[in-house]
């Protein structure tokens, strides 16, 4: 099921007054519970999705959350993305959200919490790259007097509202979601430095940036061009995730359409080997985390060269062609890899894109 059809189906079938509440067998509740499975193949990076229709009693504003485990997996705290339905089910809002529930213990569930969330949302928004949030300065309205829905309105950092009856195309929805996933990464870095500054009376709260500390590793290195490149030598860690395996599976299906024969059994530690016209392609797949391709590219280059040398050149004298596969685009590293004889391909909201040599080889359309 695609994003568009899922949102429309939930809006048209959800009933907050359903007598069976959130039981299994209630269609809209079942759709929300299965949202993560439906949407997993469509998500960028490490995002995971979960649907929420309430626990115990149905929510007046059901929603589907998208979480980056490197930031938070708990909607009570931290930053995440969500589609939140208005109570009248006529609109659904794609929003970059702050966790609101945990604040209830400190600030209560009334005006104090709303004021805090509103000011903090403003503090985050104003410090994001403005070109990335242009057109996202929308204040959502969930048409509900429920305290949590009001908190979602106040806690929204950036948002876009869709009318159910005039829902945009699937491509537009995916592009918006992927874009907001990039904004989420930027917001997470801003949040690390955002600090509270209370007035002398303890009432008004202002948010200011902490002093910059020396970043560790590659967390904040996102090169814009060759002049941004600096040398880091982090310890290498190899991590296989469900998103990593899903990337390999999806790409294997894609290349078969172009006449390649993929193999991922019996090729360990290689991720994937492709064959066409007797020529092997050695593939290394990497997930890009926190919108930062640097670490993923380094690992891909190291493993491709290592495996090519030891498992092919030294073993049987073959020289496979090399391909680096990513969960999202890698920017200036495309040309860097090309210069080292490595083709590259990455997921996009609507399919696949790749380097000049990948397209020339017929690996993607």
Using only C-alpha atoms, the chain has a radius of gyration, in whole angstroms, of: 23
pLDDT for position 363: 96
Is 218 among the domain residues? Answer: no
Residue 64 has pLDDT above 70, yes or no: yes
Is 71 among the domain residues? Answer: yes
Is 215 among the domain residues? Answer: no
Q: What is the dihedral of CA 288, 350, 189, 232, to 10 degrees?
A: 30
Is 197 among the domain residues? Answer: yes
Residues 288 and 197 both lie in one domain: no
CATH code (residue 281): 3.40.1350.10
Is the sign of the CA dihedral 298, 302, 308, 311 positive or negative? negative
Residues 41 and 86 both lie in one domain: yes
More confident residue, 323 or 77: 323
Residues 199 and 107 both lie in one domain: yes
Q: What DSSP string describes 171-228?
A: HHHHHHHHHHHHHHHHHHHHHHHEEEEE-TTS--EEEEEPPP-PPPTTTT---SSGGG
pLDDT for position 242: 66
Q: Are 96 and 81 in contact (CB under 8 A)?
A: yes
Residue 236 has pLDDT above 50, yes or no: no
Is 61 among the domain residues? Answer: yes
Whether the predicted model's global pTM rises above the 0.85 cut = no
pLDDT for position 109: 75
Residues 181 and 81 both lie in one domain: yes
Label residue 78 left, alpha or beta by phi (over 0 means left) and psi (-120 to 50 means alpha): left
Residues 81 and 188 both lie in one domain: yes
Is 54 among the domain residues? Answer: yes
Is 220 among the domain residues? Answer: no
pLDDT digits (tens, 9 = 90+) for 251-308: 998 999 999 999 888 787 888 999 999 899 999 999 887 667 899 999 999 999 999 9
Residues 48 and 153 both lie in one domain: yes
Residue 221 has pLDDT above 80, yes or no: no
pLDDT for position 41: 86
Least confident range of 45-49, 106-110, 321-325: 106-110
Mean pLDDT of 232-252: 62
**Which residue, 157, 187, 209, sits at the end of a domain?**
209
Residues 97 and 202 both lie in one domain: yes
pLDDT for position 237: 36
Mean pLDDT of 91-96: 98
pLDDT band at 227 (very low <50, low <70, confident <90, very high): very low
Residue 205 has pLDDT above 90, yes or no: no
What is the pLDDT of the chain when averaged over all its residues? Answer: 86
pLDDT digits (tens, 9 = 90+) for 244-253: 788 888 899 8
pLDDT digits (tens, 9 = 90+) for 115-130: 989 999 999 999 898 8
Percent of the chain at pLDDT > 70 equals 86
Residue 361 has pLDDT above 80, yes or no: yes
Mean pLDDT of 84-91: 97
Element (H, E) at 91: strand 91-98
Q: How many domains does the chain have?
A: 2
CATH code (residue 166): 3.30.920.90
Residue 57 has pLDDT above 90, yes or no: no
pLDDT digits (tens, 9 = 90+) for 6-34: 999 999 999 998 888 888 889 999 999 99
Domain that holds residue 350: 242-360
Residues 140 and 37 both lie in one domain: yes
Q: Are 258 and 365 in contact (CB under 8 A)?
A: yes
Least confident range of 19-33, 196-210, 302-316: 196-210
pLDDT digits (tens, 9 = 90+) for 140-176: 999 999 999 999 999 999 999 999 999 999 999 999 9
Residues 268 and 201 both lie in one domain: no
Is 137 among the domain residues? Answer: yes
Residues 193 and 328 both lie in one domain: no
């Amino acid at each position: 099921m695609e994003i568009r059809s899922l949102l429309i189906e939930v809006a048209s079938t959800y009933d907050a007054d359903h007598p069976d509440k959130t039981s299994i067998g209630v269609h809209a509740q079942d759709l929300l519970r299965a949202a993560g499975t439906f949407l997993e193949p469509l998500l960028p990076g490490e995002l995971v999705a979960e649907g929420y229709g309430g626990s115990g009693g149905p929510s007046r504003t059901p929603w589907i959350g998208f979480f980056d485990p490197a930031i938070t997996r708990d909607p009570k705290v931290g930053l995440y993305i969500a589609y939140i339905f208005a109570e009248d089910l006529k609109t659904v809002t794609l929003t970059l959200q702050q966790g609101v529930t945990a604040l209830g213990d400190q600030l209560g569930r009334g005006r104090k919490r709303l004021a805090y969330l509103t000011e903090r949302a403003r503090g985050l928004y104003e410090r994001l790259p403005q070109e990335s949030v242009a057109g996202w300065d929308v204040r959502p309205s969930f048409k509900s007097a429920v305290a949590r829905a009001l908190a979602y309105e106040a806690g929204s950092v950036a948002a876009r509202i869709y009318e159910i009856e005039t829902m945009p195309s699937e491509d537009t929805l995916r592009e918006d979601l992927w874009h907001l996933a990039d904004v989420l990464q930027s917001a997470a870095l801003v949040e690390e430095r955002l600090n509270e500054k209370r007035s002398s009376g303890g009432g008004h709260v202002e948010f200011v940036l902490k002093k910059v500390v020396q970043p560790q590793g590659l967390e904040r290195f996102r090169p814009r061009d060759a002049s941004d490149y600096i040398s880091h030598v982090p310890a290498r860690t190899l991590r296989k995730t469900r998103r990593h395996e899903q990337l390999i599976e999806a790409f294997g299906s894609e290349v078969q359409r172009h006449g390649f024969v993929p193999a991922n059994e019996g090729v360990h530690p290689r991720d994937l080997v492709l064959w066409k016209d007797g020529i092997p392609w050695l593939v290394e797949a990497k997930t890009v985390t926190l919108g930062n391709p640097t670490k993923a590219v380094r690992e891909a280059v190291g493993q491709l060269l290592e495996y090519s040398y030891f498992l092919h050149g030294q073993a049987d004298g073959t020289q496979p062609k090399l391909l680096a596969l990513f969960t999202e685009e890698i920017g200036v590293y495309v040309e860097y890899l090309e210069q080292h004889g490595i083709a590259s391909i990455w997921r996009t909201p609507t399919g696949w894109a790749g380097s000049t040599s990948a397209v020339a080889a017929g690996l993607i359309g």
